[in-house]
Amino acid sequence: MPTLFDDPLHQLPRPPRRVTAGVVHLPNFLSLAEQNALVTQSREIARSVAGTPLAMVRPKTKSGQMSVHMLNLGKHWATNTYRYVDAVDGFPVPPLPDSFVNLAHRALSAAGTLSDSLKSWSAAYRAEAALVNYYSPDSSMGMHQDGYEESEAPVISLSIGDTGIFRLGGTLNRNKPWTDIPLMSGDLIVFGGANRRAFHGIPSIEANTAPAGCGLKEGRINITIRQLAL
Ligand SMILES: O=C(O)CCC(=O)C(=O)O
């Protein structure tokens, strides 16, 4: 295990930065209190849909069962059709809370200070759906494109709990070269513009790195907020 000083992935300080065209990373965007509130709110919604077809479960996709638990807000991403729907078997999808919508606008304004292509979305952006992903320390998400939204609006992604390694690839295929970015509790990453359809994934979670007070004792929550329609 490399030490902090010889590990190129975990260098300090971590200033807000433009990673590449349309992709920005804002470390410590959320305060601990905000992280805690988001975890509490997500947990309450997950409880409210437990035992229904909207329950927070590890979805089965065409390529197998994911290791990540997923909760859908605003719209449900149906993993059999890969489409966003309003209800499943008559159960309406929980609405996107106002707090998530407000947070998305705040995130996009902050991201826009580092990227003109993200800034151009600030006024017109509509937060319509969110995925709350829970990663246990041994789970991961393979390289994929977020390609099921009609809109090219940026994806707003918030991390809480254990550090997750965000792997960003190119737009053509899931192959190297990749850029690996450790996303720590409270970090924001926004990807849009030329890299809205970039392949990305989470190859690993760093166990026991969640800060006290974030609302999670172990594992990681990632919240992605999206505009779906044109
Ligand atoms: O967990 C993350 O940071 C990425 C999540 C993701 O790629 C997705 O929900 O499509």
| Assigned domain for 2 exists | no
Q: How many domains does the chain have?
A: 1
CA of 134 to the centre of ligand 1 (A): 10
The residue written with tokens 């329609």 in the block is 229
CA distance 88 to 37: 27
Assign 4 a pLDDT band (cuts: 50, 70, 90): low
| Assigned domain for 59 exists | no
| Assigned domain for 140 exists | yes
**CA triplet 223, 229, 230: central angle to 5 degrees?**
125
How does 102-138 read in b/e, with b if 16+ C-beta sit within 10 Å? Answer: ebbbebbebbbebbebbeebeeebebbbbbbbbbebe
Q: Is 200 in the pocket of ligand 1 (CB under 6 A)?
A: yes
Q: Is 222 in the pocket of ligand 1 (CB under 6 A)?
A: yes
**What's the half-sphere exposure (Cβ side, CA atoms, 13 Å) at 87?**
4
pLDDT tens digits, one per residue of 23-35? 999 999 999 999 9
pLDDT tens digits, one per residue of 95-115? 999 999 999 999 999 999 999
| Assigned domain for 3 exists | no
Atom of ligand 1 nearest to the CA of 166: 3
Residue range 147-174: mean pLDDT, rounded: 97
Q: Which of 5-14, 41-50, 112-121, 178-187 has the lowest mean pLDDT?
A: 5-14
Instruction: Write down the pLDDT at residue 2.
Output: 61
Domain with 168 in it: 17-50+72-226
Assign 6 a pLDDT band (cuts: 50, 70, 90): confident
CATH number at residue 90: 2.60.120.590
Terminal C-alpha separation, the chain: 46
Are 72 and 129 in contact, with CB atoms under 8 Å apart?
A: yes
| Assigned domain for 58 exists | no
| Assigned domain for 184 exists | yes
pLDDT tens digits, one per residue of 71-103? 999 999 998 899 999 999 999 999 999 999 999
Atom of ligand 1 nearest to the CA of 222: 1
| Assigned domain for 63 exists | no
| Assigned domain for 183 exists | yes
Tokens of 104: 């998305």
pTM for this predicted structure: 0.97
